[in-house]
Amino acid sequence: ETGVTQSPTHLIKTRGQQVTLRCSSQSGHNTVSWYQQALGQGPQFIFQYYREEENGRGNFPPRFSGLQFPNYSSELNVNALELDDSALYLCASSFVAGENNEQFFGPGTRLTVL
């Protein structure tokens, strides 16, 4: 069984640029969530996708957007990058969008904005 994978591992961008991060869900999972973990903080929920539709969103501006594909892989897009967007971005997949479902996390993508 393949776990959650994310690419790239590390990424350096400059302020104002756009970035796309990718996530491959664990086999059999139909829900993906994205979290932002700034240095020294716990992960913060960005949004969740269930069967290709947004199923919940945290307190992040619209320049953070996402997609989920029919094979349940996912992308996180961030436009007009700001210095504060520097963080570890974590993807988590689960079987259904339910209250008590365990979310399996990938290793993350470390984004640095200069």
Which residues of this protein are in contact with another protein, per CB under 8 A? Answer: 4, 31, 33, 35, 40-45, 47-48, 50, 55-58, 90, 92, 94, 97-108
Where would I find the H helices in 16-92?
none
CB of 28 to another protein, least distance (A): 17
Q: Is 60 exposed, middle or buried (0-12, 13-18, 19+ CB in 10 A)?
A: middle
CB of 1 to another protein, least distance (A): 15
CB of 91 to another protein, least distance (A): 9
Nearest Cα to 34, choosing from 90, 78, 98? Answer: 90
